[in-house]
Amino acid sequence: MSLLRCARVSVVLGGRPVVSDASFTVEPGECVGLIGPNGAGKTSLMRAIAGRLGHGGRIALAERDAATLSPPSRARQLAYLPQDREIVWPVSVETLVALGRLPHRGGATGGRLNDAAAIQGALARMDLTEMRKRPVASLSGGERARVLLARVLAQQAPLLLADEPAAGLDPAHQIALMETFAALAGEGRAVLVSLHDLGLAARWCTRLLLLDRGRLVADGPPATVVTAQTLARVYGVEADIRSDAGGLLVTPTGRVANRLTPESRLR
């Protein structure tokens, strides 16, 4: 059973197609990286999947038409971390993370114990246990990002959608984040994560989807998607690409000389 099935998903914004005919599935056990240059349509696609943006085509969550799901049923199936990191509530770290449990309220008895375990587990995974009593407003940007991640982890949905969760995190916490995603996949859940850091995407994701001007132009294991030719064509960069026992190592090293502009590529 696929956790996510997108069939010819399209999004139009301001009268312009920003996602065109995206078709793919995400299976349990996958950590899928969504990559592509600025404006490629990554956020728009994720917002459509999360039910926050109108779209064409069909989206199914665990083989059920997403359009027919109530908000709580959708939230039990899919946890979404938006790119926007603003936190307006004057609450503690622990209280904010506990909000991730809201879709589970009213469930079976023993819910509170499950809630406590899910909240403590999410805090620990994001290295927040010691700061759980602190007001969120007093945290640094990267610490807040980890709190918002902990909230979606506490939701314990089978599918996690995270839009640029690594932005603003230091290297140790970036790696811890990707280890967490790999662990969730290892538990039979799935992650769809947009990333600008090609090194993180290529090393940690089991599969990559590459968007270029709204179109899905590559879908496969990192080694088949992140090639010198693709990076030059889509991103206009040269890169050092190697592999070791831990996977691919990708470091962009410079811009391709005389890169064609998107406008001239269309001619």
Under rule CB under 6 A, residue 13 binds ligand ATP: yes
The type of residue at 168 is: G
Q: Which of residues 84-103 bind ligand ATP (CB under 6 A)?
A: none
Nearer to ligand ATP, 18 or 248 (CB): 18
In the complex, least distance from residue 12 CB atom to ligand ATP, rounded to whole angstroms: 9
In the complex, least distance from residue 257 CB atom to ligand ATP, rounded to whole angstroms: 24
First to last CA, the chain: 42
User: Which has the closest alpha carbon to 208: 172, 248, 261?
Assistant: 248
Nearer to ligand ATP, 39 or 54 (CB): 39
Interaction mask 33-62, ligand ATP, x per CB under 6 A: ---x-xxxxxxx------------------
In the complex, least distance from residue 258 CB atom to ligand ATP, rounded to whole angstroms: 24
The type of residue at 258 is: N
φ, ψ (nearest 5 deg) of residue 23: -125, 125
Nearer to ligand ATP, 64 or 265 (CB): 265
Interaction mask 16-35, ligand ATP, x per CB under 6 A: --x-----------------
Q: Which of residues 188-227 bind ligand ATP (CB under 6 A)?
A: none
Helix/strand/coil (H/E/C) assignment for every residue in 129-195: HHHCCCEHHHCCHHHHHHHHHHHHHHCCCCEEEEECCCCCCCHHHHHHHHHHHHHHHHCCCEEEEEC
Q: Which two tokens stand for residue 153?
A: 């982890």
Instruction: Label residue 108 exposed, middle or buried (CB < 10 Å: 0-12, 13-18, 19+).
Output: exposed
One-character DSSP codes across 186-234:
HTT-EEEEE-S-HHHHHHH-SEEEEEETTEEEEEE-HHHHS-HHHIIII
**Span near ligand ATP by CB under 6 A; candidates 11-19, 87-95, 175-183, 197-205:** 11-19
In the complex, least distance from residue 207 CB atom to ligand ATP, rounded to whole angstroms: 18
What's the Rg (C-alpha) of the chain? 19
Nearer to ligand ATP, 19 or 61 (CB): 19
Do residues 251 and 240 make contact, with C-beta atoms less than 8 angstroms apart? yes
In the complex, least distance from residue 167 CB atom to ligand ATP, rounded to whole angstroms: 9
> Which of 14, 71, 90, 246 contacts ligand ATP by CB under 6 A?
14
Nearer to ligand ATP, 70 or 261 (CB): 261
In the complex, least distance from residue 189 CB atom to ligand ATP, rounded to whole angstroms: 23
Q: Which residues bind ligand ATP (CB under 6 A)?
A: 13-14, 18, 36, 38-44
